[in-house]
A = this chain, B = another copy of it.
């Protein structure tokens, strides 16, 4: 089923709001078996809505409209649709009473301005709004289904899930299955090379996309055949499993959280250039208090010495950004905070502070377990934000690889 999407709002055209509704709808329509073929954004005006409706390509059987259903005079979508569908709306007394009751529970009264939200079509239908006051609308005009939902993301998503996506699913041949394989620690070109023999043998109707980001490469598989996706994902996993930290929305911190929990190990962090980002990421996972004891952000050399007991001589001789310092940070944070593992990062985030010998982007990461300490050197880029992100990702990945190696022993 082919879909035309019309998103309404002066804020969208002015760029003050990023159109995340459009991407959400695009993906969910695709998963339901449909396809957004055409998307137009226009201002809050009846004429523009009519012009947009009339320019929908003939191949689109269904039209989804978002925005302009609120109570103010800017919100003209309902009026434009009643006109377009040659419908005369009626006042829905029951819904108005209901709205007033809902608000009186919160000791609020509903201004008369909101009365237009209680209108309902005679030829069309309304779509319930469990999280707001503006209901959605549904019309059939010239055999095309037209759905209008509010622009508020939470309300739009509720109505898509309750009504529009089920309709698309029912009227589409095949649902599309999408599986994203998330890798880190390998460049796109190297990954593509390792997977070349698998990708070449891929049957028709299966799409593979490489999506490189600075913190790793996602490999997105999509097909109408769920089994094909499963088979291919398994093949990829057996070839480059070392680099795979998760699937779909998994985060690297989720993965290491599960691994640490599974092994009943605790971890402590000693951060310099990442400034607390690694602790922040680890604690984004609910339940992380069972394996994360805490950390020391040793931004100054004084804190490296006083709180982390890094030798004054080591700092003098090798500098704060050195393998020697990284090793002491990891080993000492483990002891000072009483954890099984100690993870440290020290580097030059930039954009200033680099020298010829130690340029911006030079980072040392160390991991200590009481018996052994691993330390590695990395050379990232000139950008502060990218360096912090890459450093935290690489450090967490070092923990993942360490824990994987413990399984296999």
Q: Within 8 Å of chain B (Cβ to Cβ): is A166?
A: no
A136 at the A/B interface (Cβ < 8 Å)?
no
Known: A27-B16, A280-B275, A280-B277. A299 touches B289 (CB 8 A): yes
The contact of A294 among B13, B25, B297, by CB within 8 Å, is: B297
User: Which residues of chain B are near A129, meaning CB under 8 Å?
Assistant: none
Query: When each residue 324-363 of chain A gets 1 if its CB lies under 8 Å from chain B and 0 otherwise, what string results?
Result: 0000000000001110000000000111110000000000
Minimum CB–CB distance for A65 against chain B, Å: 15
Size band of the interface chain A makes with B: 35 or more
Cβ contact within 8 Å between B384 and A284: yes
Asked, given contacts A280-B274, A296-B294, whether A15 binds B27 with beta carbons under 8 Å apart, the answer is yes
Residues 9 to 28 of chain A near chain B (Cβ within 8 Å): 12-20, 22-28
Question: A275 to B300, alpha carbons, bound, how many Å?
Answer: 19
Contact across chains for A40 and B40 when beta carbons are under 8 A apart: yes
The answer for the CA separation of A130 and B12 in the assembled complex, in Å, is: 29
Q: How far, in angstroms, from A298 to B268 measured CA to CA in the complex?
A: 10
- Check B294–A299 contact: CB distance below 8 A: yes
* Chain B CB within 8 A of A303 CB: yes
Q: Are A297 and B284 in contact (CB under 8 A)?
A: no
Enumerate A247-282 residues with CB–CB distance to B below 8 Å.
268-269, 271, 273-280, 282
Complex interface residues of chain A between 208 and 227 (CB less than 8 A to chain B)? 209, 211, 220
Question: Which B residues are in CB contact (< 8 Å) with A42?
Answer: 37-39
Q: Does A315 contact B (CB under 8 A)?
A: no
Complex alpha-carbon distance, A289 and B299, angstroms: 7
Which of the residues B14, B40, B298 comes within 8 Å of A38, measured between beta carbons?
Answer: B40
Interface residue? A293 (CB, 8 A) = yes
Q: Does A43 interact with chain B (Cβ within 8 Å)?
A: yes
The answer on a CB contact under 8 Å between B306 and A336 is yes
**Beta-carbon contact of A24 and B15 below 8 Å:** yes
A289 & B300 in contact (Cβ 8 Å cutoff): yes
With known contacts A15-B26, A23-B18, A306-B337, A275–B279 Cβ distance under 8 A: yes
Q: Are A276 and B287 in contact (CB under 8 A)?
A: no
Complex contacts, A24 vs chain B, CB 8 Å: 15
Looking at the assembled complex, report how far the CB atom of A295 sits from the nearest CB atom of chain B, in whole angstroms: 4
A132 sits at the interface (CB 8 A): no
CA distance A165 to B30 in the complex (A): 35
Query: Is the Cβ of B286 less than 8 Å from the Cβ of A275?
Result: no
| Given A19-B18, A20-B18, A307-B296, CB of A338 within 8 Å of CB of B40 | no
Given A18-B20, A26-B14, A36-B14: A296 touches B297 (CB 8 Å cut-off): yes
- Please state if A13 and B27 are interface contacts (CB–CB under 8 Å): no
Within 8 Å of chain B (Cβ to Cβ): is A57?
yes
Name the B residues within 8 Å of A13 (CB-CB). Answer: 26, 35-39
Q: Mark A78-98, 1 if CB is under 8 A from B, else 0.
A: 000000000000000000000
A155 CB, min distance to chain B CBs, angstroms = 16
17 pairs, A vs B, C-beta closer than 8 Å: A16-B23, A16-B26, A18-B18, A38-B40, A38-B41, A39-B40, A39-B42, A41-B41, A276-B283, A280-B280, A283-B349, A288-B299, A292-B299, A295-B296, A296-B296, A296-B307, A306-B337
